[in-house]
Each structure stands twice: as C-alpha cells, then as structure tokens.
A = this chain, B = another copy of it.
Amino acid sequence: MATKKIRMGMIGGGKNAFIGAIHRAAANMDGLIELVCGAFSSNAQTSIESGIALGLPENRIYASYEEMIQKESQLPSDKRMQFVSIVTPNHAHFAPAMLALENGFNVMLEKPMTFSLDEAKQLKKKVEETGLLLGLAHTYSGYPMVKQAKQMIKENVLGKIRKLYVEYPQGWLSELSEKENNKQAAWRTDPTKSGKAGAMGDIGTHAAHLAEYISGLKITKICADINTIVEGRVLDDDGSVLLKFDNGASGVLIATQVAAGEENNLRINIYGEKGGLEWHQQEPNTLLIKWKDAPAQIYRTGNGYLSSVAKHNTRTPGGHPEGYIEAFANIYRNFALTLNAKIDGETPTPEMLDFPTVDDGVRGMAFIDNVIVSGLLEKKWFDFIE
C-alpha cells in the first residue's frame, strides 16, 4: 500500500455534471488518491463554486484547464497534481489531455478517448514520447467477474473461442430528449460535441472494448447496420454489427439507446469449443460458466476459488455486492498503483497495469470510424482498419 496519496486534478465535473462525481467517488474509494485541484467548468464561476463545494482551497481552483496546467506546473513537485482526470464531453478531451501530457502530467480520460481517430493517434504518439501514463474509463472492464472471465479464457478453460455476442441496450434516448433540456442527451447527440457517432461512440465503444478485453481477440471485419431511429436526431442512436475476429471467431455487437425500458443492460456471451460464459453488467457479481456435458457453474465475486486477478480487483467478501463505482475504482486504483510504482522506481506488476490505456482509446476511436463507414457501405464485410 502506498504511503503517500497520489494528487489528482480534475477538468470538468462541476456542479450537476453526472460522471465527474462518479470519478471522484471512484478515486476516493481506496484512499490512494487525493483531489488537490480542478478546473471544473468552462464557466469560471461554476468552476470556483464547484471546487469550494468539494472543499478545495481557492488557489487550487482554476478558471480554465490551461490556467490549471500552467499554474500547477509551477508548484513544487511535492505539491502539484500528479495526474489530471478529464471528464468533459468528447470534443473537450484532446486539448487538455495533450496540454497535460506536454507539461508532464499523467492523464485519466473519459471514453471515447477523443473527438476523432486522428486526435487519438496524436495522443498515443505523445504518450509514447513522454512515457507518461494515460488511463481510460472503460469502466465495465473493471468489474472483478470480467477479470475472471478474461483470465479463464486466457487459460483456455473454454477452449478455442468460436462465438461472441455482446449487446448494450439502453432506453434513455427513446425520445428526442436532447430537445427537452436533458444536458446529457444534448451533447451526446450533437456531432459538434460527441463526434462522428452517437450510440456507437457512447456505448458501442464500451461493448467493443469489453468484447476484445475479455476474449483477448481483435475484431478484423465488421458489417454494420447503423440507424437513427428517433426522428429529428442527427447522430446514430442504434446499431447492430456482425463481427469477425482474428482467430476466425464470429459474433454480433448490438448497441442501442432506443430500447425503451432498458437501463444499462450490457451483456456478453462467449462460447468456446468446451463451454461458454455469460455476464450481465446489471448483476455484475455473477459469472455463468456453461459446460457442454455438465451443470453450469455460478462464479461469484469475493470467493476463494477465483483467480488472483479477480481477487486483486475486489474489496468485499463473497455475498457483499460490488458495483459500478467499485469497477470504476479498480481503474483508478490500478492507475494509481502503477503511478506509485513508477514514482518509486519499481516495475508495476501486470495486475497494476490492468487498466485501459491510450491503445484502447485508439482502438475505440477506430471502432467508431469503421462502424460508421461500414454502416454507409453497400457491401457486407468491411475490413477493420486501425
């Protein structure tokens, strides 16, 4: 355990923002990270009010991210923030992230990583140049039973993987909520803020990341049906994608925001030669393992029979459910542990390094590009290009 807390700054996440508060709860949870500064809003007044409400001293609350990065850089190295968490809408990811990296600050970013694939690649280049850390909030891969699933596939427990189905139905954009003062809906459906894609960027990237993360496979071909279902909407709010993977497996990815009545019903099923697995985000502490000629098994978070990686990402004993914030906190914790190891001149363990990085971010932006193009094409299969 670290003896010093890692110092975090935050960009975005002011009053009334949704995801910023989740980031802070996740960062807080393990006592490894301390919020020391922030530029919480593009509105200076809002930023200050937000920072005060969070108990920050006024001299560490900034009117803009540029000011924050500049002023923090001038603080003594044992005072200034050590990484910045960027929780703004998509179009406002790249500039602060790049500026932070250029000024020597590690970065934690909301997904999708950037507004465009090109931006993503620039960030990747900069990360490689600087050797700094860039973490990405693909929360769902932070759940312990997702780790368990990945480990079991890695150990070939299910045999060669043949089929992968992932679906992420939401219902919250079933109406034209962006016209009804729903701030979350407004920017996510606005191509100037969200990017090329709506549903595919917002949740399709989550589904794709989860699929590749658990299976260890890479998508190589896609055939996408991309739709804008709600009249008056500009970006896609729905899509279904046939998939081919690099080992010959095939599958389907579904992401829709017009499945009225669904919350965040992300589900994945993967089948190998010997058996299959099933995981549901809404009941995340259960992992079903299905066998060809034997009873299915219910793996549950917190039990002694789990892999060490699942245990590393768990805080409570069996039967005490871990949730979304814990999954999120696993990303922050692993990020902080890695950062601490680096600061201490130690080599981070594979378990510490188990958080989404700039590579996953590039992959996600490529997914958006590919899937939108495929959706427009008349031909069936489109080679996934990164």
Contact = CB atoms under 8 A, between A and B. Distances in A.
A227 interface: yes
Given A28-B29, A260-B276, A263-B318, A174 B324 contact: no
Interface in A7-46: 18, 21-22, 24-25, 28-31, 35
Interface in A185-220: none
Contacts of A55: 2-5, 31
A82 interface: no
Nearest to A316: B324
A319 B258 CA distance: 15
Contact of A325 (B274, B290, B316): B316
A319 B242 contact: no
Contacts of A53: 1-3
A337 to B, nearest CB: 13
A225 B380 CA distance: 9
A263 B285 CA distance: 12
Interface in A144-160: 158-159
A73 interface: no
A68 B160 CA distance: 50
Contacts of A380: 223, 377-380
A162 B323 contact: no
Interface string A268-296: 01011111100001111100111111111
A302 B28 CA distance: 21
A383 to B, nearest CB: 13
Interface stretch (A91-99, A248-256, A359-367): A248-256
Interface residues of A, number: 96
A262 to B, nearest CB: 6
A321 interface: yes
Contacts of A4: 55
B322 A325 contact: yes
Interface stretch (A110-118, A120-128, A164-172, A349-357): A164-172
A163 interface: yes
Given A258-B163, A260-B292, A29 B29 contact: yes
Contacts of A317: 18, 263-264
Given A31-B24, A223-B380, A291 B261 contact: yes
Contacts of A240: 242, 250-252
A163 B237 CA distance: 12
A309 interface: no
B297 A295 contact: yes
A247 to B, nearest CB: 12
Contacts of A283: 283, 321
A265 B250 CA distance: 19
Interface of A: 1-5, 18, 21-22, 24-25, 28-31, 35, 52-55, 158-159, 162-163, 165, 167, 169-171, 174-175, 223, 225, 227, 229, 238, 240, 242, 250-252, 254, 256, 258-265, 269, 271-276, 281-285, 288-300, 302-305, 315-326, 377-381
17 contacts: A2-B53, A3-B53, A5-B55, A163-B229, A223-B225, A225-B250, A240-B242, A258-B271, A261-B292, A263-B300, A293-B303, A293-B305, A297-B297, A321-B324, A325-B325, A378-B379, A378-B381
